[in-house]
Structure 1
Amino acid sequence: MNEFTERHETVSVRELTVSDAGAGPYGLTAGPDGALWFTLVHQGAVARRDPDDGLATVHPVGDGPTVITAGADGALWFTEYRSHRIGRITPGGDYASFAPLTPEGGPYGITAGPDGAVWFTLGSADRIGRITADGEVTEYPAPGAFPSALTTGPDGALWCTLNQGNAVGRLTTDGRARAYPLPTGGAAPVGIATGPDGALWFTEIGAGRIGRITVAGDITEYPLPDPAARPHAVTAGPDGALWFTEWGSGRVGRVTVDGRVTSYALSRADSEPHGITAHDGALWCALETGSLARIEVRS
Structure 2
Amino acid sequence: MRTSEMIIVGLVAAFLATGGVLAVVFTPSPSPCSGVSGAIRSFTIIVDLNGYNGSGSQPGTWPVITVQRCDKVVFTVINNDTQAHGFAVASYSNAGLELVGGDHQKLQFQATRLGQFKIYCTSRCTVHYLMQNGLLNVTQSFPYGLSMRSSNWIRVFLILTVLLGFDYGTNLRAALPTPILQVSNQQYVTLLPKVPVGTPRPLIIYPNDTRVWVAGFETGGPQTSQIREYFVNNETSRGVLNFSNTEISSILVDRNRVWYAENSTLAFYNSTSGQSETQRTFQNRSLLSLALDHNGRLWMTLGGSNGTSSIVMLNPNNTTQTYRVRTSNALAYGITVAPDNTIWFAEAAAKKIGHLGCDTCNITEFSPPQSLSLAAPTQVIVDNSGNVWFTDHGSNQFGVLNPNTNAWKVLPIGYCQNYCTGGLPNSIFLGANNTIWFSEHVAGRIAHYDPSTEVLTEYIISPNSLPFTWWAMPGANNLVWFVAWELGEIGYVNATLPASFSLTPPSGDFIVARGSYDDVPVRVDPQGSAKLSFGISPVTSDQEYYQTTAQIFGPSPPDLGPSINPQTITFRISSAWNATLGPRYVALTASNGQIAISVHIKVVIIEASIPYVALGFSTVIFLGGVTLYLRRPRRLNVKKVKRKK
- If the TM-score is normalised by the length of the shorter chain, which range does it land in? 0.7 to 0.9
Pairwise CA distance, 1:197: 4.9
Change in Cα spacing, 1:198 to 1:186, as seen in structure 2 (3 Å) is: same
| Higher alpha-carbon deviation: 22-31 or 124-133 | 22-31
- For residues 426 and 351 of structure 2, what CA distance do their matches in structure 1 show? 14
2:393 alignment partner, one of 156, 163, 166: 163
Q: Deviations over 1:166-193 (max 9, x none)?
A: 2111122333321111123221100111
Maintained 8 Å contact 1:115/1:173 = no
Maintained 8 Å contact 2:229/2:240 = no
- For residues 149 and 247 of structure 1, what CA distance do their matches in structure 2 show? 19
Maintained 8 Å contact 2:446/2:472 = no
- For residues 72 and 56 of structure 1, what CA distance do their matches in structure 2 show? 24
Larger radius of gyration: 2
2:446 alignment partner, one of 185, 210, 230: 210
Pairwise CA distance, 1:230: 0.8
1:140 alignment partner, one of 353, 356, 366: 366
Maintained 8 Å contact 1:39/1:67 = yes
Change in Cα spacing, 1:51 to 1:13, as seen in structure 2 (3 Å) is: closer
> Once the two structures are aligned, what percentage of the paired residues are identical?
21
- For residues 252 and 384 of structure 2, what CA distance do their matches in structure 1 show? 20
Maintained 8 Å contact 1:164/1:188 = yes
- For residues 179 and 99 of structure 1, what CA distance do their matches in structure 2 show? 28
Change in Cα spacing, 1:135 to 1:52, as seen in structure 2 (3 Å) is: farther
Pairwise CA distance, 1:20: 2.3
Maintained 8 Å contact 2:291/2:336 = yes
Aligned residue in 2 for 1:121: 346
In structure 2, stretches of 5+ residues that fail to align are 1-225, 416-420, 499-645
> Partner letter of residue 241 of structure 1?
L
Aligned residue in 1 for 2:330: 105
Aligned residue in 2 for 1:153: 383
* Structure 2 counterpart SS, 1:52: coil
- For residues 34 and 14 of structure 1, what CA distance do their matches in structure 2 show? 16
Change in Cα spacing, 1:211 to 1:54, as seen in structure 2 (3 Å) is: same
Maintained 8 Å contact 1:154/1:199 = no
Pairwise CA distance, 1:128: 0.4
Indicate yes or no: 2:456 matched with 1:234.
Answer: no
Aligned residue in 2 for 1:56: 276
Structure with more strand by fraction: 1
**Aligned positions of 1:61-72 closer than 5 A:** 61=282, 63-72=285-294
RMSD over aligned Cα, in angstroms?
A: 2.6
- For residues 220 and 245 of structure 1, what CA distance do their matches in structure 2 show? 18
Pairwise CA distance, 1:81: 3.4
Structure with more helix by fraction: 2
> Partner letter of residue 255 of structure 1?
V
| Higher alpha-carbon deviation: 7-16 or 51-60 | 7-16
Indicate yes or no: 2:493 matched with 1:255.
Answer: yes
Pairwise CA distance, 1:9: 7.3
- For residues 228 and 57 of structure 1, what CA distance do their matches in structure 2 show? 36
Change in Cα spacing, 1:191 to 1:7, as seen in structure 2 (3 Å) is: closer
- For residues 9 and 72 of structure 1, what CA distance do their matches in structure 2 show? 29
Aligned residue in 1 for 2:237: 13
Pairwise CA distance, 1:157: 1.5
Superposition TM-score, scaled by structure 1 size: 0.76
Change in Cα spacing, 1:91 to 1:54, as seen in structure 2 (3 Å) is: farther
Pairwise CA distance, 1:98: 2.0
> Partner letter of residue 282 of structure 2?
V
Pairwise CA distance, 1:73: 4.2
Indicate yes or no: 2:246 matched with 1:246.
Answer: no
Pairwise CA distance, 1:39: 0.8
* Structure 2 counterpart SS, 1:232: coil
Q: Deviations over 1:95-148 (max 9, x none)?
A: 333211211111111000133211000000100001132352001025633111
- For residues 205 and 190 of structure 1, what CA distance do their matches in structure 2 show? 6
Change in Cα spacing, 1:47 to 1:183, as seen in structure 2 (3 Å) is: same
Change in Cα spacing, 1:221 to 1:5, as seen in structure 2 (3 Å) is: closer
Maintained 8 Å contact 2:395/2:423 = no
* Structure 2 counterpart SS, 1:248: helix
- For residues 90 and 209 of structure 1, what CA distance do their matches in structure 2 show? 37
- For residues 6 and 137 of structure 1, what CA distance do their matches in structure 2 show? 38
- For residues 3 and 177 of structure 1, what CA distance do their matches in structure 2 show? 37
Maintained 8 Å contact 1:157/1:171 = yes
- For residues 250 and 192 of structure 1, what CA distance do their matches in structure 2 show? 21
Pairwise CA distance, 1:5: 7.8
Q: Deviations over 1:201-260 (max 9, x none)?
A: 111111111111111432121211263211112211123210112233332121111569
Pairwise CA distance, 1:46: 0.7
Maintained 8 Å contact 1:73/1:133 = no
* Structure 2 counterpart SS, 1:239: helix
Pairwise CA distance, 1:88: 1.7
Change in Cα spacing, 1:181 to 1:92, as seen in structure 2 (3 Å) is: same
- For residues 119 and 4 of structure 1, what CA distance do their matches in structure 2 show? 29
Pairwise CA distance, 1:91: 3.0
Change in Cα spacing, 1:136 to 1:22, as seen in structure 2 (3 Å) is: same
Change in Cα spacing, 1:14 to 1:238, as seen in structure 2 (3 Å) is: farther
* Structure with bigger RCO (C-alpha 8 Å, 6+ apart): 1
